[in-house]
Amino acid sequence: MALQRLSFRLRQTVTHVRSLHTSGCGQQQAAEAVESEPEPLSVFRTRENDPACHSEQHMGQYYTLPSTHIRTLFPHGLPGRYQQQLKTFNEACMMVRKPSLEVISYLKKTDFSKPSLRYLFYGLNGTGKTMSLCHTVHYCYTQGWLVLHVPDAHIWMKNCKELMPSSYNDTRFDQPLQASEWLRNFRITNEPFLSKIKTKQRYVWTKRESTEEGSLLGQLVDQGISRVKSSSDVVGAVLKELRLQSGQPESDFRMAVAVDGVNGLWGRSTIKKKDKSPVESDELTLVYNLKKLLTKDWTGGAIITTLSQTGSLYTSKFDYLPQELLGEKGFDGMDPFLPVSVPNYSEKEFESCYLYWMDRQWLQHPQSRTEEGKKEIIFLCNRNPSMMDRICASL
Amino acid sequence: MAASISGLLKPWTPRVFLVRWSRYNPYYLEPEVRKEAYIKPEAELSAEEKEQRELKALRPIKAATNDVTSSVFSDPVISKFVGMMMLEGNKILANEIISKTLENIKRKQVDKYHKAPEGKKEEIECNPYAIFHQALENCKPVVGLASIQKGGKFYQVPIPLSDDRRRHLAMKWIITECRESKHRRTLMYEKLSQELLAASVREGNVIKKKLEMHKMAEANRAYAHYRWA
């Protein structure tokens, strides 16, 4: 009887074909309903490690990401301090917060025959936009989607050590180092898809090298990694293939495009040409091809992005709203999109973070464990996640 | 001496207030920064404390320096260390280095803690402040050497050291050691954290230096009476 009720609930929530994971979660729920409700591990931890099953009752609690997922899904993409924390605590725990829950609930209800929607996380510096993006990307990965994660669009716009004129188009410039690194990480994340998707077009790289029509995507990616000179064009080819093929009736994969620091794509660049004039964003192959992917003319997936002021160039420190950081061109390019605000920690989330650090032996100063110390920490960091991390690091 | 002079002076408030200089008239009182001193209700005060409070109402008080705070996390020993590490007045940089050092120590120890088996967990000290204080204690020399002239020659004579002098010597040795003998590319906070962790278990170059000082003092025991030359 409980199973019948649950299958009815499942029919309402699941809209896409691959329902293995959600049905697994549903069976778990069924099992739990039949037995007694298992107690949560503690106030700040939850046993529910599947992002698809996170709901409002898990808000503010930490769930553990399995280390296999971290190695495949996040070779790049996690913030630097968080990666240090992973090594120190020997486990990867992320907090379930409202913005990512909201986007995950929208993703569950998407209609994949319509053009893909754009979600934008925005907020003050250090409120957890990148972490919300990583949570959503983890959900997409557990649902079996293809994940195209660009960890920081700003690194394609600054500090370029090698800038080559593009072989495909004379007016554009290549960045072989960044492109080959991205391809390597893309291969680590999406191993299973590389042997399934086939190219629909013939690509000629040099007089002797070409990739035939119908060859596997994996071959294309390997070509880009081994021949670093043509890696930017390979990236362009990969993005084009995926855009054309996703949403087609014969392809059975969903694509999640995750871009962190998307305001960099329309911003100014510090890269200079040989005659000291600055390079426009449209003159870089990588950026040009990525912008084509951010338009709304493909179906069968979603685009999840974040704004970032910390790595951005020529923006004021106090800008954080989409209008200010994206600028006119960016806003027109991203419009229409769904903005999701990421605020500072609420009181419950702060408590949860504080208790988690106490549990992991991170708050060592004897005074930091008292009420006075806690009040002082709240006063100093105003519940901003990154400030709290920096202050409590030396306590 | 300051008390006798202040006894002679009549009660007065100056027309010009001294704020930037550290040499005050002995009439001025030290500022009380700790919150606990002001929270105590009237009934709990002893006679001396009541006298102090009345005095505070009449006498001028020195301006508090920038590094004393009413924060519960402030530590006078760490402030002293930061002041000693500071170069060219850049206290912000010195403070950052120290906080990175403490974070580094904590990270290494917590890493060890989480990877240790259940039985060994209690033995690992994770508190960076405890490690810092322990390391400082272990580096403090017991006797020092003074250069005393007798009969035209200078002799290294072992003498007892005051507490402040011992602490100063320990801090100075740690800082010089970390500045000089390290790989060109090692950052200060990394080297400091290594030295402090080693010193807290009585290993490392600073402990060696302290032991050498003790050995010299032991070797020159014969000249100890030159102190009263």
pLDDT for B98 beyond 90: yes
How far is the C-alpha of B218 from the C-alpha of B143, rounded, in Å? Answer: 9
Please report how the helices A285-293 and A176-189 are oriented relative to each other, as an axis angle in degrees rounded to 10.
Answer: 40
How do beta strands A301-306 and A255-259 pair?
parallel
For B:93-112, CB contacts with A below 8 A are: 98-100, 102-103, 106-107, 110-111
- The pLDDT, as a whole number, for residue A216 is 86
pLDDT for B111 beyond 70: yes
Distance of CA B173 to the CA centre of its chain: 13
- The pLDDT, as a whole number, for residue A241 is 87
- The pLDDT, as a whole number, for residue A43 is 82
Alpha-helix runs per DSSP H in chain A: 2-13, 20-34, 67-73, 80-89, 98-108, 129-142, 176-189, 191-194, 217-226, 231-245, 285-293, 322-334, 347-359, 371-381, 385-393
Cβ–Cβ below 8 Å for B127 and A372: no
How far is the C-alpha of A305 from the C-alpha of A326, rounded, in Å? Answer: 12
- The pLDDT, as a whole number, for residue B38 is 82
DSSP chain B: -HHHHHHHSPP---SS---S-S---TTSBPP---THHHHS-GGG--HHHHHHHHHHHHS-BPPPPTT----TT--HHHHHHHHHH--TT-HHHHHHHHHHHHHHHHHHHHHHHHHS-GGGGGGS---HHHHHHHHHHHH--SEEEEEEEETTEEEEEEEE--HHHHHHHHHHHHHHHHHHSS-TT--HHHHHHHHHHHHHTT-SHHHHHHHHHHHHHHHTGGGGGGGG-
Partners of residue A356 on adjacent β-strands: none
Q: Tokens for A212?
A: 């035939």
Task: Please state which of the ranges A228-242, A348-362, B40-54 shows the lowest mean pLDDT.
Answer: B40-54
pLDDT for A354 beyond 70: yes
How do beta strands A210-211 and A203-204 pair?
antiparallel
How far is the C-alpha of B97 from the C-alpha of B87, rounded, in Å? Answer: 12
pLDDT interval class at B172 (50, 70, 90):
very high
Cβ–Cβ below 8 Å for B128 and A394: yes
- The pLDDT, as a whole number, for residue B154 is 92
How far is the C-alpha of B81 from the C-alpha of B136, rounded, in Å? Answer: 10
Give the mean pLDDT of A132-159: 91
pLDDT interval class at B7 (50, 70, 90):
low
Chain A residues whose beta carbon lies within 8 Å of the beta carbon of residue B98: 394
Q: Encode pLDDT of B58-78 as tens digits.
A: 888 888 888 888 888 989 999
- The pLDDT, as a whole number, for residue A111 is 86
Cβ–Cβ below 8 Å for B129 and A373: no
Give the mean pLDDT of B202-213: 94
DSSP A275: T
- Which residue in B has a C-alpha nearest to residue A88's C-alpha? B111
SS3 for A309?
A: coil
SS3 for A349?
A: helix
Give the mean pLDDT of A317-346: 90
Cβ–Cβ below 8 Å for A87 and B113: no
Q: Are A231 and A225 in contact (CB under 8 A)?
A: yes
The CA–CA distances, whole Å, from B161 to A87, A179, A341, B141, B169 equal 44, 64, 61, 8, 10
Chain A residues whose beta carbon lies within 8 Å of the beta carbon of residue B73: 365, 367-368, 373, 376, 395
- Which residue in B has a C-alpha nearest to residue A364's C-alpha? B127
Whether the bond into A336 is cis, omega within 30 of 0: yes
- Which residue in B has a C-alpha nearest to residue A373's C-alpha? B72
Chain B residues whose beta carbon lies within 8 Å of the beta carbon of residue A364: 106, 126-129
- The pLDDT, as a whole number, for residue B199 is 95
How far is the C-alpha of B191 from the C-alpha of A119, rounded, in Å? Answer: 45
- The pLDDT, as a whole number, for residue B195 is 95
* Interface residue B71 vs chain A (CB under 8 A): yes
Please report how the helices A176-189 and A217-226 are oriented relative to each other, as an axis angle in degrees rounded to 10.
Answer: 140
How far is the C-alpha of A29 from the C-alpha of A38, rounded, in Å? Answer: 11
Q: What's the burial of B154, exposed, middle or buried (CB within 10 Å: 0-12/13-18/19+)?
A: exposed
How far is the C-alpha of A325 from the C-alpha of A309, rounded, in Å? Answer: 7
- The pLDDT, as a whole number, for residue A12 is 45
Other C-beta atoms within 10 Å of A242: how many?
23
- The pLDDT, as a whole number, for residue A165 is 86
pLDDT interval class at A300 (50, 70, 90):
confident
Cβ–Cβ below 8 Å for B72 and A376: yes
φ, ψ dihedrals at B181, nearest 5°: -95, 80
DSSP A65: E
- The pLDDT, as a whole number, for residue A28 is 45
Q: Encode pLDDT of A156-199 as tens digits.
A: 888 888 888 887 788 888 888 999 999 999 999 988 888 888 88
- The pLDDT, as a whole number, for residue A27 is 45
Task: Please state which of the ranges A28-42, A109-123, A247-261, B62-76 shows the lowest mean pLDDT.
Answer: A28-42
Q: Tokens for A21?
A: 């994971």
Please provide the average confidence, as pLDDT, over all residues in chain A. Answer: 84
pLDDT for A317 beyond 50: yes
Q: Encode pLDDT of A79-102 as tens digits.
A: 999 999 999 998 899 999 999 999
pLDDT for B8 beyond 80: no
Angle at B106 between CA B104 and CA B110, to 5 degrees: 120
Contact partners, residue A194, CB within 8 Å, separation at least 6? A187, A216, A217, A218, A221
| Shortest Cα–Cα distance, A69 to chain B (Å) | 21
Residue ranges of chain A whose CB lies within 8 Å of a chain B CB = 84, 87-90, 360-362, 364-368, 370, 372-373, 376, 393-395
In terms of Cα–Cα distance, which of A169, A189, A236 is closest to A76?
Answer: A189
- The pLDDT, as a whole number, for residue B4 is 56
pLDDT for A366 beyond 60: yes
Q: Are A143 and A52 in contact (CB under 8 A)?
A: yes
Cβ–Cβ below 8 Å for A362 and B106: yes
Cβ–Cβ below 8 Å for B99 and A393: yes
pLDDT interval class at B11 (50, 70, 90):
low
- The pLDDT, as a whole number, for residue B14 is 64
ipTM of the complex: 0.83
Contact partners, residue B213, CB within 8 Å, separation at least 6? B141, B143, B144, B145
Q: Are B177 and B169 in contact (CB under 8 A)?
A: no
Nearest-by-Cβ selection for B115 from A90, A361, A393: A90
